Amino acid sequence: MIEAFQQVVNEQDATMLIVGDGPNIDRYREICSKRSITSIRFEGFCSQEMLPKYYAVAEFLVFPTRSDPWGLVLNEAMCAGLPVICSVAAGAAVELVYPGHNGLLHEPGDVEKIREHILTLLRDNNMRNNMGLASLEIIEAFHPKKMAQGFSEAVFNLPNKAYTGKHAK
């Protein structure tokens, strides 16, 4: 991500906020320092209550994960009406990201594709707005009330058969 964004700022004025921390955050800061990258700001840990502030100032979310079973950050960004740039390694990408409709997908570690996707969204305000609206529509199906309703319907529509497993009484 850092390498891709460094290439982006060579072509387009932009600032990236990295919100959160983790075991590699000091290494990322060091990389930026050694490369004199000043367009990346490290915001550090952020409480759940403060996250909406960051989504409100964002143009889009980039989630370049190499591995993630779901990636709740996608849900959050989409609820904020943001388009998403996401790695196909995020489990949620299959359900939530419709390429060209509400986001853009790339293979893990594909620096050139990440750069290309960031520049595409930075340069096309109309596309960003349309993708953000699409994100809101898509994420509505994942609202907790709808999920609970679907679960409830599934349970109540199960065949009325007695359990005959070894733990049945």
Q: d(Cα 118, Cα 108) in Å, to the nearest integer?
A: 15
H helices present in 13-143, as ranges: 25-34, 51-57, 72-79, 91-96, 111-123, 125-140
Q: Please, how many CA atoms are within 13 Å of residue 155, restricted to the half-sphere of its CB?
A: 6
Instruction: Report yes or no on 168 lying in a domain.
Output: no
Residue 147 lies in a domain: no
- Tell me: pLDDT of 164 over 80: no
Domain-located, residue 27? yes
In a domain, 165, yes or no: no
Domain range enclosing 41: 2-140
Residue 159 belongs to some domain of the structure: no
Predicted confidence band of residue 22 (pLDDT cuts 50, 70, 90) = very high
The pLDDT, as a whole number, for residue 163 is 53
Q: Is residue 98 part of a domain?
A: yes
**Residue 152 belongs to a domain:** no
Joined together, the tokens standing for residue 41 give: 């700001």
Q: Is residue 134 part of a domain?
A: yes
Domain count, the chain: 1
d(CA 3, CA 117): 14
Please name the residue that has the structure tokens 């964004």: 5
pTM for this prediction:
0.85
Residue 161: what pLDDT? 58
Instruction: Kindly report the CATH number assigned to the domain that includes residue 121.
Output: 3.40.50.2000
